[in-house]
Chains A and B, each alone.
Chain A
Amino acid sequence: MKDNSYYLNIFGMDIPTLDTIVATALRNGGDYCDLYFENTVYFNLMLKDGAVTSGGCHTDYGVGIRVLKGEKTGYAYSETTALADILAAAKAASAIALGASSSLAYCSTPDVRHDLYPDVEDWRQADARAILTFLQTLEKEVSSKDSRIVKVIARASDSESDVMMYNSMHEARFDSRPMGSVTVSAVFQDGDKSETRTASRSFRKGFEMLDTQLIEELANEVVKGIDARFEARRPKGGRMSVVMGAGASGILLHEAMGHAFEADFNRKGQSIFADKMGRRICPEGIDIVDDGTVAYNRGSGNYDDEGVPAQKTYMVRDGILTSYLHDRVSAAWYGVPSTGNGRRESFRYNPIPRMRATYMESGKADPGAIVASVKKGIYVDEFSNGQVKIGEGDFTFFVKSGYLIENGHLTMPVKDVNIIGNGPEALADIRAVGNDMKIDNGTWTCGKEQSVPVTCGIPTVLVGSLIVGGE
């Protein structure tokens, strides 16, 4: 881990100067102020048509200043760290407090020094030629897996962010956040039929993640299930049982339930769960977690973007709603400690409650026995393009790949259908939870107002009845 002076030097700051900025931001009577300095370097390479012919790097540097008065927010930022520019932004943010009377008590948070991404090789020191070679090897490996592959696109992108946070309670927090992502897509052609498949991995790891194991994993995943994909048809639609496969199906948990647990929607009374704290929302034995402490996970951070140390938060314990996901604003409003969910896309955005790694913990059922228990239903491998209405809880998810279940057996492969339902109703209708929880480490990005990296996971789960759209 780097010394604190490393960060102060990058941004040309010292503590007395930071205090001067804070004092300026609070000049109109704000309750709380925080500063978020960021220096991020992005790098990417793309292989297309057999060659790595495009790529580039991007630099983003600046400081965001937030002033809170009660639950009201003033936000501005500067793309330089020249004091005059920062003070101008501080004055702009301070305007929120003019004439405002309500106040909230913003509390300090004890520092816990996690080290969730130890021993990583800084991407800024990486040899770009080695990344290029990695993509070429990946393409060869993928192409060798199936003679029907006619196109391969492979991308490697990485970033290193140095972040410095300081607030009006004199809390200083520092973090250097690596992120590496690899995505590979293949187009398969069989006669006049075409199919595409994509596989990706993303971690808070450094250059060392680009190894032969990753190549093998991605190559195997991108061709997995392609035969079924060519055979897949749209099933007859209707109301039926749905088994969600372990891993990537967790996106349904993220979209249909996780967002409704975010405290800003609940504080404003907009969430379907706004009046359900402490109440049973799903059967006994079910635990739903949002976790910022999984080592190297894409959704993890030693601190959130308000300087609150990483935590593991149980939103649902044994079927009872026990916690919302809080940033500092909602925590102060509800009078509870922040759960470390205050996140932002960059210094350009004010933090709001966001998920990290969201998953359901394993239950006791055998996944095979879950499928065997279903007379008529659908088994979903992979969802995409989910959408949810937070207030009503209604959701729709597109099934990229799956199977029909008939009399306890997986039969016809299915694709290109939607599943539609209601979050709380689906939660309450969970009939079985498998013992095989898996976090999917793909390049998941959540887009609630701003883009932040997340992951999701779920064990094999049986929901009694949902609508499946088909022929």
Chain B
Amino acid sequence: MARFCIERALELGASAIRVSLNKNVTDSATVFNGQLDKVTHSSDRSIFLYLFVDGKYGTFSTNRLERADLDAFLIKAIDTTRLLESDPCRSLPQKARTVQDAVTGFEAGLFDKAYFEEDVDSRIAKALRLSKYEKLMASPSKDWSLISEECEWSDSVDDTILLDSQGLEARHTETSAGCFCEMNVSDKEGNKYSGYWWDSSWSADKVDLEECAEKALKKVLKQFSPKRSRGGKYKMVVDTSVASRLLTPVINALNASSVQQKMSFLEDSLGKKLFPANLTIMDMGREAGKLGARLYDSEGVAVRNAPIIENGVVKQYFTNTYLAAKTGFEPTVEDVSRPCVKAFVQTGESSGNIELQDILKLCGSGVYVTGFNGGNSNPVTGDFSFGVEGFRFKNGKITHPVKEMLITGNLIELWNNLIAAGSDARACTRWQIPSLAFSDVCFSA
């Protein structure tokens, strides 16, 4: 089908074409208050065409894949592309930059053949196993009552084939499985609290079903009786589960598209030391078997392990073929694959594991942030304001939950106040961002 599209597009006058064929199957089973509530099955397929015609460029997709429909779609797509204005910066990537070793689809090590052994019944059984509703209702607590429990098991398989008219042929196949549990609880005064826990992996066997509900409940109960704290400057420890919120605007600002559109607070930062010397963030897309691994980006450009920020120096803008031609930046990959923050404490690199408790102890007292609630950062200036929730801690020990707090500041200043990065990032996330500690963070409350 993809080869047909390439041949036909060239016949119709295209100078080059890239074709992506995508297939996804996702199943889920949801249990509400111990009873099966929802079963879904979805199966998607689509074809994306990236057309280069007479110096012009258009993108098209359809899920109508019968040969006659595709032919009509191609004719329309080429006609539409011809209507656009020409752009000399558009082209396929240089062939030497494209991936050579993504042949079977399994090279990223994220495919579990046992996926095909799952059926509706086994998925429902897993969802029911997640639920602890019956057990919790059988021995009610005096201090709280369970309003609802929602548990979900889901799994999927994704298969993508990428071809272009220069001879690129690449494939990526990935399975995923995950569980999720959300608890809603009220305290003796009738105040409501909610919390969730989840786990995921490319293999169902690696997903921890047993503790999901307990961990969700534990998260909820810790939130009881929050206090309003005074505003001021505190040390802030951000839990690994939400720390990516602070890295996302940095990664966005390193995208060549943001820089080219003057929408980046990291313009003119390439090769400059803007962050603390302890901060190193690597993009580790080539670590087979780890979530987020991939051999190529959406253009087919080979992914390599490379520093994003090394010892505080900005090492790369994410630059695709188009933006490289437009800006003169060296082409890299289109976007980040698997950013990993290197562990350290202010006194130097740590040889051992740095867990959350170590970081709390190092900081002494401050605010331990376990959730972000709304807010934004200005992409041009890096100024931010985020709602946060979490706990006060003193002498390295959590004292009480806090509510209605905000943090404000500037992202470059914030990251320059980084005093520790843990080694506790969860394996179930693509972005390996551990617990982080910052000094002198401005809290309003």
Contact = CB atoms under 8 A, between A and B. Distances in A.
A59 B194 contact: no
Contacts of B84: 45, 52-55, 132
Contacts of B326: 49
B100 interface: no
- Sort chain A's interface into a size bin: 35 or more
B261 interface: yes
Contact of A391 (B76, B184, B386): B184
A16 interface: no
B263 A79 contact: no
Contact of B386 (A53, A150, A418): A418
Interface stretch (A110-118, A213-221, A268-276, A450-458): A268-276
A288 interface: no
A394 B60 CA distance: 41
Contacts of B147: 268-270, 391
B404 A237 contact: no
A20 B184 CA distance: 41
A130 B404 CA distance: 50
A234 B381 CA distance: 13
B378 A391 contact: no
B347 interface: no
A14 interface: no
Interface stretch (A89-97, A174-182, A302-310, A363-371): A89-97
Given A153-B261, A196-B263, A387-B373, A420 B387 contact: yes
Given A348-B42, A418-B385, A189 B262 contact: yes
Contact of B385 (A58, A77, A350, A398): A398
A387 B374 contact: yes
B39 A75 contact: yes
Size class of the contact patch on chain B: 35 or more
Given A389-B373, A394-B404, A418-B386, A128 B80 contact: yes
Mostly, the B contact residues are strand
B374 A396 contact: yes
A408 interface: no
Contact of B194 (A95, A385, A392, A421): A392
B193 A237 contact: no
A237 B231 contact: yes
Interface string B363-378: 0000000001111101
A79 B43 contact: yes
A388 B389 CA distance: 12
A189 B373 CA distance: 31
B394 interface: no
A459 interface: no
B45 interface: yes
B73 A416 contact: no
Contact of B148 (A89, A268, A272): A268
A397 B263 CA distance: 22
Contacts of B36: 72, 96, 100
A415 B383 CA distance: 10
A417 B385 contact: yes
Interface of B: 32, 35-45, 56-64, 73, 76-77, 80, 83-87, 90, 120, 147-148, 150, 184, 191-194, 231, 261-263, 326, 372-376, 378-381, 383-387, 403-408, 442, 444-445
20 contacts: A45-B84, A51-B85, A53-B86, A54-B87, A56-B59, A57-B76, A58-B62, A73-B39, A73-B40, A75-B41, A78-B43, A270-B194, A387-B387, A394-B403, A394-B404, A396-B375, A400-B376, A415-B378, A420-B404, A421-B404
Going nearest first, the 9 A-B pairs with the smallest beta carbon separation are A396-B374, A396-B387, A469-B406, A387-B374, A237-B444, A53-B87, A398-B376, A56-B59, A469-B444
